Amino acid sequence: MLIKQSDYHRIYRVISSLLVDGNADPATASMYFSTFGAFVLKQHYKIDATPKGGLAAYNLGGTVLLFADHRDDGYVTGAGENFHCWVEADGWAIDFMTPAFSESAKELSVPSKMFQRPLSSMAPSINDLGRSGDFFYQSEPDAMARRFEHWRRHAAIGDLAAVAARWFRKSPKQMPASISIEDRHGKFRDVPLSGNPLAGAW
């Protein structure tokens, strides 16, 4: 593993807590999870971590989740509205959002688990997801560049990423149970640390 499961869980919880505080839906916020997660990895581990986005498919305990749009020619693409984002770092794929899949796919009963796998173990195609933990990514850099350019214009994005990095502590250091955030009106509020417990790893 690139990072310990306990630290993965902490990064997920920090990002999820900030999204809940901002009334964002953690179950559909892969851009936040990938961008903030990559930023924390760079700040605390000095790892060259890069957010990626496009088509993503997972076999999670026999349930196959697909983030893609169907094209007119019968193929699927990750360049449309139904995209997903993840982090690539030092030959590893890390998706800090998978513990929130239990919320986005409630009807599928997907447990909250860590996803951290070597990129070399990726399935050769979207049709080869036969075992639990199998995954397939197809990055769409042009489409994602346009999305991220528009998304990053929101001033609060960079501020929240910095808050996430400031809140996070590597285990076994104690994680603060909350963090104080200043809003645009100069008022401070406490954001409590929340998030789903992990039930292992995919």
Which domains does the chain possess?
Answer: 5-192 (3.10.550.10)
pLDDT tens digits along 113-165? 999 999 999 999 999 999 999 999 999 999 888 887 877 676 677 788 899 99
**What b/e string do you get for 20-41 counting C-beta neighbours within 10 Å, with b at 16 or more?**
bbeeeebbebbbbbbbbbbbbb
Give the per-residue pLDDT at 97. 95
Q: How confident is the model at residue 15 (pLDDT cuts 50, 70, 90)?
A: very high
- Residue 59 reports pLDDT greater than 70: yes
Cα dist from 90 to 100, 113, 116, 195, whole Å = 24, 21, 12, 27
Indicate the average pLDDT of the chain: 90
By CB atoms closer than 10 A (0-12, 13-18, 19+), residue 5 is middle
- pTM of the predicted model over 0.85: yes
Are the C-beta atoms of residues 35 and 51 closer than 8 Å to each other? yes
Q: What is the pLDDT of residue 26?
A: 63
